[in-house]
Structure 1
Amino acid sequence: MPTPVALTGNPSIDGLLWGWKWDSPNLTVSFPQDVREYTEFGYAFVENFQPFTNFQANQIINFGLNNLGVFSGLSFSGVENFGNLRFAQATRVDYGPNHVNTGLHFPGGRGSAEANPPDPFFSGEHTMGDNWFTLGAYTEPVLGSFQYAAGLLHEVGHALGLKHGHTTQNSMDPSQPGLVYPALPSGQDSQEYSVMTYRSHVGADLSQGASGQEEYPWTYMINDVAALQHMYGANFGVGTNETDTVYNFDPSTGAMTINGFSFGASYNAKILLTIWDGGGIDLFNFANFANDQTIDLRPGAFSTFSTAQLANLSLGKAGPANFARGNIGNPNLYQGDLRSLIENVQTGTGNDSLTGNQVANFLRAGGGNDVLNGGAGDDTLEGGNGNDTMDGGAGAGDEALFFSNITDTTAMLSGGVFTIISPEGTDRVTGVERFHFNDRLLSLAEMTDFAGGDRPGGTPGDDVLTGTAGNDRLDGFEGNDRLLGEGGADTLDGGIGADTLNGGDGDDVIIGGPGEGDLRDVIFAGEGNDSVDAGAGNDQVFGQGGNDTIAGGFGVDELQGQDGDDVITGSAFSDLVFGGAGDDFVNGGFGHDRINGGTGADKFFHVGASGHGSDWVQDYNAAEGDVLLFGNASATRAQFQVNFNHTANAAGERAGDDAVQEAFVIYRPTGQIMWALVDGAGQSSINLQIGSDVFDLLA
């Protein structure tokens, strides 16, 4: 017998309530074989009656009704005649005189069908639970097809007390005048949330109708499940996958496998369903999919593990394709019960995003640069190979897993974020209390000690970080950052971006940053004996006070040692180098470099390889003790010669006094000019050091 259903105040549920349900969840089902079961009990006529075939009956039982029994308190038992739910085919029916509704809506759309709810005011009590399908239109109701979802699932939903999700509906109960059941919220009015709406996707034009080619859900979807559970309760018992369950899918056929049992191929091999799991520790195993995956285990969320198998919800219609927002939609919790949650997930080799839920999750990514967020609960995160970002979330016992040994790993901690570098890649980890390496398990305190303590850390944006009087480490990461070390022996790493780095007082280590995105850094080493690697980009470095070691890195750099006895290397490309005051060691590196040693006894180094270019020394002065230092210790004095010639003034960049020739120091075995000394002809000596021996090339 029917009983009324009140509104809940939840629009996701109320948008599907007809207003009536069966008073018992234990229903009988029949497939009448004789039309007289209808015509002799209230129907005016049934045109071209035909019973369901065994295939049709098996489809509705095995997938439709059994699916209902998995997630709800409904149960179904077969009877020969007069079941609560009856299924049959015809071309037209008339429910009888004085009834609101008259028959299959013929001529209707492709595959017209209808069902009668348990509403005594709709078409009469003799029609309640009756499902009618147009003869010949529902002969192949396979998973994910129009015939299956928009036919069998949809009509059974009506027979159980669900209305159309796309419409508002006035109650027909005279005892409740003015009662209106609303439509679904516009953002949920789609097949992704309910098989009861005519809108296959959000915003679909209902005037187009259904093409019949659309790719549909396999199951009742998120809001359907919630509405039916509101009426009939939820099921966490036997038959609900209540034990530990593993879910797999086939990339070729779309077939779902549950603990090794396959449910067969789907329509067009597309995947769109809601999975209700009654308990146990469960696993979504998507490791056989290589595309980028977005997996979200939270209630009501969607997951995409196979972009190629997303259902096209507008297939066969004019206009652009409208793909489902995921392959799987998670049901909402029933009365806060956590047993329906999926605990664990494993993905493939793509760049994946994995999000956990309220319980303890094991989020396991394969290769690729993955993002893992455990959420609430004590979670286990495994990024696998690649540069991964892992956040344990709100739990107090989260653990990060690594394949590598701790002995093969380095780590830094900055702003609460660990940067862990291992053979697996470079991972950023936060919100984790345990770090499980192949050879050792570290607590958070032990990992902090291993990383050398916490340091101020940057973000992907433009940061301003300031150290203390102690020994700090400042990491800018991405963005155009400003890092100031202040006192102490600091380590500054600008990362990607155009950064300004100032070591301040103390013996500092300053790193400009690697990669093509590091365009230009400006570095002030500060006082102290500093070590500077400008890194990639066209950088500007000021050594300032102290005996500094400066490397220009990969770019066209301007390097100034300034005060102190500095060691300066131009590295790649053609650099501009100033030694400044002090006895400096200057190596132009690759490229044709312009070098000014400044005051003091400077050494101008050339490795001796032809690929390192010719260096223009603008202020060679033998009287100050300047020396040319050749890197090939097996060379001899006889292998060098000095030629003199004028060069173009070039606005003073290369030539000095127009009346004084330049000196070109040539290494005869290669014929290459090693050094070009501006105004070198004015020198009384040109001293060359090979190994420990010093030769005057003008003697």
Structure 2
Amino acid sequence: GEAGNDVIRGNEGADNLNGGADNDTIDGDAGADVITDASGNNIIRGGTENDLITGGTGRDRVEGGDGDDTISTGAADDAIFGGLGNDSLDGGDGNDTIWGEAGDDTLLGGAGNDRLTGHDGNDSMDGGAGNDFLLGIAGNDTLLGGAGDDRLNAGIGNDLLNGGDGNDALLGGSGTDVFIGGAGRDRADYYYESSRGVRVTLDGIANDGVSKSEKDNVMPDVENLFGGGGPDVFVGNNERNFFKGGGGNDSLVGGNGDDILEGGAGNDTLDGGAGNDFLYPGTGSDSMIGGAGTDTAAYSERTENLNLSLDGAANDGAAGENDLIGSDVENIYGGKGNDVITGSAGPNRLLGGPGNDTITGGLGADTIFGEAGDDDIRALDGVIDVIDGGAGTDVVSKDANDVVSNVP
């Protein structure tokens, strides 16, 4: 073809077809064809046999058909379907959609925000630069996110997930999977294992997953773990970990970094370990262990009226909740209701949050923020406290040397 919108069809032999410029429709039919199109938004079908197809600068739809096909497209947003056979599919630049379909396929997204789906077979996928979505579905697949914030979903089979650069989400499935985070802050997400619960230790040993027989391996360069609805056990490392338990009675152990542990629904145990940790209990009777470092029990998303104290007794949370804030937790962040917050003998940081709160500082050199609402702040302890009433009409009982602001 030349300039113009051409319709070109090959024959049963090995054809050399060139669409030229403009929007062409090319069908190679039978035979091992070489198909090239320079520009335009084209529809190209390889047909049977092993075809070599090169798209142009426009938005192309390329279907390999039967055979082991090699397909590459240009810088626009292209759609590539490998069909049957072991295909090599390269989307080039642009936001491409690539389906390997049947066979052991190689999918390359290139630059752009691409969507790669392997489907059947043992596939190799590389998203390249950009924020990509890679889906293995079935087979023993290798998924590489590349640069960008990628989402990798392995599906069924024994899969290797490598996020590459960026903040990536790695979702395994049934089978023995390996999770590699790469640069950035990455997470292994077991959300879809909703009922069985998982055990994951960020130690690079193949003992993770739903059961001992699954033998997933979540590598230490994965910083964050998300659980599902079952009873999950997460154990951290020296990095700054973020663990989200979800539903179920979870045990989240942070390790030596400055960690964020979020229990979710269920009766959870949140153990910060060493480091300055934030512990977010959800609904249920939760136990919070601070460990070494300066740790915070954070109820900032809760809307009920809460009673929170640093006395090490199981009397915290909403009425009847019976949370236990351990005595090795130093700080409390209240919720959005009218909370009663009581400190300890050590130096505490106590935040009331929105609502009309009653905050008692204890015997240490405390920092107290009433925040929004009409708060009652009590800091008569004989040491120098720092008090900020925040918005609202607050009542403050204080010592003469306390540092006070935003109080009428």
TM-score by length of 1: 0.35
Counterpart of 2:384 (choices 617, 624, 628) is 628
Alpha-carbon separation, structure 2, partners of 1:329 and 1:471? 37
Contact 2:167-2:186 at 8 Å conserved across structures? no
**Residue 383 of structure 1, CA deviation:** 1.0
* 1:352 Cα deviation after fit: 2.1
Partner of 1:526: 287
Instruction: Give the corresponding residue for 2:123.
Output: 361
Match for residue 604 of structure 1 among 350, 359, 366: 366
Q: 1:613 to 1:674 in 2, by over 3 A?
A: farther
Residue 387 (str. 1) matches residue 139 (str. 2): no
* C-alpha distance in structure 1 between counterparts of 2:383 and 2:105, whole Å: 71
Give the secondary structure class of the aligned counterpart of 1:585.
coil
2: CA distance, partners of 1:287 / 1:511: 49
CA offsets, 1:361-411, max 9 Å, x none? 321112333222234444332111223232444454x4344546xxx9999
Task: Note the 1:503-542 alignment, pairs <5 A.
Answer: 503-504=268-269, 511-512=279-280, 525-526=286-287, 528-529=289-290, 531-532=295-296, 534=298, 537=301
What letter matches 2:160 in structure 1?
Answer: E
1:604-683 alignment runs, 5 A limit? 604-605=366-367, 618-621=377-380, 625-629=381-385, 654-655=394-395, 673-674=404-405, 676=407
1:350 aligns with 2:115: no
- Does the Cα contact within 8 Å between 2:105 and 2:123 map onto a contact in 1? yes
Which of 16, 25, 28 is equivalent to 1:217?
25
Superposed CA RMSD: 6.4
Matching of residues 177-192 of structure 1 within 5 Å: none
How far residue 666 of structure 1 moved from its aligned partner, in angstroms, is: 8.4
Indicate which of 57, 71, 96 corresponds to 1:284.
71
1:310-349 alignment, distance < 5 Å: 343-349=105-111
Output the CA distance in 2 between the equivalents of 1:665 and 1:379: 66
Residues 388 and 426, structure 1, Cα contact 8 Å, conserved in 2: no
Which AA in structure 1 matches 2:378? D
Q: Which amino acid aligns with 1:619?
A: R
Partners of 1:143 and 1:218 within 8 A in 2: no
Residue 219 (structure 1) shift? 1.7
User: Residue 312 of structure 2 contacts residue 327 of structure 2 at CA under 8 Å; is this kept in 1?
Assistant: yes
Distance in 1, matches of 2:262 and 2:74, equals 37
Q: 1:527 to 1:248 in 2, by over 3 A?
A: same
Partner of 1:202: none
Once the two structures are TM-superposed, the CA of residue 354 in structure 1 deviates from its matched residue by: 1.0
Identify the structure with the greater helix proportion: 1
> What pairs with 1:254-653 in structure 2 (closer than 5 Å)?
271-272=60-61, 274-276=63-65, 278-279=67-68, 282-286=69-73, 288-289=75-76, 291=77, 296-299=81-84, 343-396=105-158, 398-401=159-162, 403=164, 421-424=181-184, 426=186, 428=188, 447-448=217-218, 450=220, 457-458=227-228, 464-467=229-232, 476=244, 481-485=246-250, 493-494=261-262, 499-500=264-265, 502-504=267-269, 511-512=279-280, 525-526=286-287, 528-529=289-290, 531-532=295-296, 534=298, 537=301, 564=327, 566-568=329-331, 570=333, 578-580=340-342, 582-588=344-350, 596-598=358-360, 600-605=362-367, 618-621=377-380, 625-629=381-385
> Is residue 354–residue 363 contact of structure 1 (8 Å, CA) maintained in 2?
yes
SS in 1 for 2:125: strand
Matches within 5 A, 1:131-280: 217-219=25-27, 235=31, 239-240=32-33, 271-272=60-61, 274-276=63-65, 278-279=67-68
Amino acid at match of 1:674: S
Secondary structure in structure 2 of the residue aligned to 1:218: strand
Is the Cα–Cα contact under 8 Å of residues 303 and 337 in structure 2 kept in the other structure?
A: no
Seen in structure 2, the aligned counterparts of structure 1 residues 489 and 355 have a Cα distance that, compared at 3 Å, is closer
1:538–1:344: structure 2 CA closer, same or farther, 3 Å change rule? same
What number of residue pairs does the alignment pair up? 345
User: Structure 1 pair 597/385, CA: closer, same or farther in 2 (3 Å)?
Assistant: same
Q: Distance in 2 between matches of 1:361 and 1:467?
A: 30
Task: Describe the shift of the 1:295–1:349 C-alpha distance in structure 2 as closer, same or farther (beyond 3 A).
Answer: same
Structure-2 change in CA distance of 1:593 and 1:426 (3 Å): same
Unpaired runs of 5+ residues, structure 2, are: 191-203, 208-214, 314-322
Identity of aligned residues (%): 14
Deviation (angstroms), 1:674: 3.1
Mapped to 1, the partners of 2:297 and 2:326 lie a distance apart of 18
The separation in 1 between residues aligned to 2:19 and 2:37, in whole angstroms, is 17
| TM-superposed deviation, 1:601 | 1.9
Q: Retained in 2: the 8 A contact 1:283–1:346?
A: no
Read off the aligned partner of 1:363 and give its amino acid letter. Answer: M
Amino acid at match of 1:457: G
> Which amino acid in structure 2 is aligned with residue 447 of structure 1?
N
Rounded Cα–Cα distance in structure 1 between residues aligned with 2:347 and 2:284: 20
- The answer to whether the 8 Å contact 2:168/2:181 transfers is yes
In 2, are the aligned partners of 1:542 and 1:562 still within 8 Å (CA)?
no
Query: TM-score normalised to the size of structure 2?
Result: 0.54
Separation in 2 of the partners of 1:526 and 1:512?
Answer: 10
In 1, Cα distance between equivalents of 2:70 and 2:331: 57
- List runs of 5+ in structure 1 lacking aligned partners: 1-53, 72-140, 146-214, 226-233, 242-246, 310-325, 333-337, 431-440, 459-463, 514-520, 549-559, 632-649, 668-672, 678-699
User: Aligned letter for 1:426?
Assistant: D
SS at match of 2:107: strand
Residue-by-residue CA offset, 1:174-203 (whole Å, 9 max, x unaligned) = xxxxxxxxxxxxxxxxxxxxxxxxxxxxxx
Structure 2 residue identity aligned to 1:526: S
Shift of 1:278: 4.2
Aligned match of 2:13? 69
Q: Secondary structure, in 3 states, of the residue corresponding to 1:372?
A: strand
Cα offset, 1:603, TM superposition: 3.0
Report the alpha carbon displacement of residue 581 of structure 1 after superposing the two structures with TM: 6.4
Distance 1:360 1:380, change over 3 A: same
Matched letter for residue 382 of structure 1? L
Q: Distance in 1 between matches of 2:55 and 2:152?
A: 35
- Contact kept, 8 Å, 1:587 with 1:605, in 2: the verdict is yes
User: Alpha carbons of 1:275 and 1:584: their partners in 2 closer, same or farther (altered >3 Å)?
Assistant: same
Kindly indicate whether the alpha-carbon contact (under 8 Å) linking 1:294 and 1:353 is maintained by their aligned counterparts in 2: no
* More strand, by proportion: 2
Task: Describe the shift of the 1:344–1:328 C-alpha distance in structure 2 as closer, same or farther (beyond 3 A).
Answer: closer
Q: Distance in 2 between matches of 1:288 and 1:388?
A: 20
How far off is 1:344 after superposition? 1.9
Q: Secondary structure at the match of 1:603?
A: coil
Judged with a 3 Å threshold, the aligned counterparts in structure 2 of structure 1 residues 426 and 368 are, in CA distance, closer, same or farther, namely: farther
Larger Rg: 1
Provide Cα deviations, 1:295-333, integer angstroms capped at 9, x if missing partner. Answer: 554549xx9969x99xxxxxxxxxxxxxxxx99999x9x
Quickly say closer, same or farther: Cα 1:403–1:262, change in 2 above 3 A.
Answer: closer
> Judging changes above 3 Å, is the alpha-carbon distance between structure 1 residues 369 and 502 closer, same or farther for their aligned structure 2 residues?
farther
Q: Deviations over 1:214-253 (max 9, x none)?
A: x773226xxxx6xxxxxxxx64xxx446xxxxx8875667
Deviation at 1:286, TM superposition (A): 4.3
Q: Which amino acid aligns with 1:366?
A: G
